[in-house]
Structure 1
Amino acid sequence: MPQMAPMSWLFLFSMFSIALILFTIINYFFLIYQPISSYKEQKNLSQISLNWKW
């Protein structure tokens, strides 16, 4: 079974590294995040008063 030359290992490492970096950049910049709740719901949540009964 023939062994791979060191240049082939370097090429494979660089190819997979570049693919990983491109994948993370694409996920970071092009993923559209949806807000968890709207402003109206947040406004209603902030008006709730907490009455602690000790």
Structure 2
Amino acid sequence: MKLNITATDKSKHQHFNYSLELSGKQVKNTTLIICGTILLGIFLNSHLKKQK
């Protein structure tokens, strides 16, 4: 997966080009970490509400 970001600052006449390349394994791992964090937050939130 490749992400390209291009921006232009017209007042300073400057161009910015950023490129980020991720492998399929990195994308899968990042997705799993984000989903796991969200699920853990939902679980902890519901668990703490039950204790009140």
TM-score, scaled to structure 2:
0.55
| Greater per-residue strand proportion | 2
Bigger Cα Rg: 1
Equivalent position of 2:46 in the other structure? 28
- Larger proportion of helix: 1
Q: Percent identity?
A: 6
Q: Which runs of 4+ in 1 moved over 2 A?
A: none
Q: Which has the higher contact order (CA 8 A, sep 6+)?
A: 2
What is the alpha-carbon root mean square deviation over aligned residues? 1.0
Unaligned runs of 5+ in 1: 33-54
